[in-house]
Structure 1
């Protein structure tokens, strides 16, 4: 019985290592995709990251964006300058506090990014078509929990 249990434990460990290896490979491929897209639209990788954060959570103050992106506020100024010059974002006075500034995306401008990612989105749709609704729920849950774990690991590194 001990042999079957140890064989089962080894098999589970191999599966877990396979998931981690796949996530690493996915990270690399998505990084390469983002780099290629950024090159086509004249944005640095970090610019794309910040634009994505503002699009998902904005409007945001520059300091809130810097915190979410894990960047120094002085670095954020340069990023926002580039994004504003490119017509990707606007800085607006906060109506609740005229001294404060919020950053928001320019909605029509993002269509260019969507076109760049259209191939990947189509391929993702094709992949998802091969899974049942229940399987997609498990995958989505896994990815959410993995993202949350990444946030915890990042926060722990920052606290060290």
Structure 2
């Protein structure tokens, strides 16, 4: 391959990468707007919904670990957890061996309510997937997993920079 061909290939690759980043930013905005609507239906603030999702996926978790993961000040996390607990979304349980330690648990069954509200998106994604073969779906799923990992790393790096270390 010639140098000119290399340049054309690199330019095309950069253009594709730029198109992917643009599409991901557009998706982020649209999902944020959807999350805001879902939160409004269940009377949760956007950050409350985010924290409930983290607890559901990664919990049980300590309030301190959740605050760190969500990038929130511990006092802010207390307010979030108070709202989630009042709404019946989470419980805070003391550790049996260390009464100072608290674990936050998602209340079983509450995710079902959210799944119903996200149903329109789920159906649309299923329709999109129906038009793709198994190899394409595997490629997209793999790409999204890696993009999520990259986002988590970028988040952790910014959080560490902000914390001064």
TM over 0.5: yes
Deviation at 1:112, TM superposition (A): 1.5
TM-score with structure 1 length normalisation?
Answer: 0.93
Question: Who is 2:18 aligned against?
Answer: 17
Residue 122 in structure 1 maps to residue 114 in structure 2: no
Question: Who is 1:132 aligned against?
Answer: 133
CA RMSD of aligned residues (A): 1.4
What does 1:1-160 correspond to in 2, within 5 Å?
1-160=2-161
What number of residue pairs does the alignment pair up?
160
DSSP 3-state at the match of 1:104:
strand
Runs of 4+ in 1 over 4 A off after TM superposition: none
Task: Tell me how far apart the structure 1 counterparts of residues 110 and 9 of structure 2 sit (CA, whole Å).
Answer: 52
Task: Tell me how far apart the structure 2 counterparts of residues 69 and 46 of structure 1 sit (CA, whole Å).
Answer: 9
Task: Tell me how far apart the structure 1 counterparts of residues 76 and 70 of structure 2 sit (CA, whole Å).
Answer: 11
Task: Tell me how far apart the structure 2 counterparts of residues 98 and 34 of structure 1 sit (CA, whole Å).
Answer: 35
DSSP 3-state at the match of 1:97:
coil
TM-score with structure 2 length normalisation?
Answer: 0.90
Structure 1: gaps of 5 or more residues: none
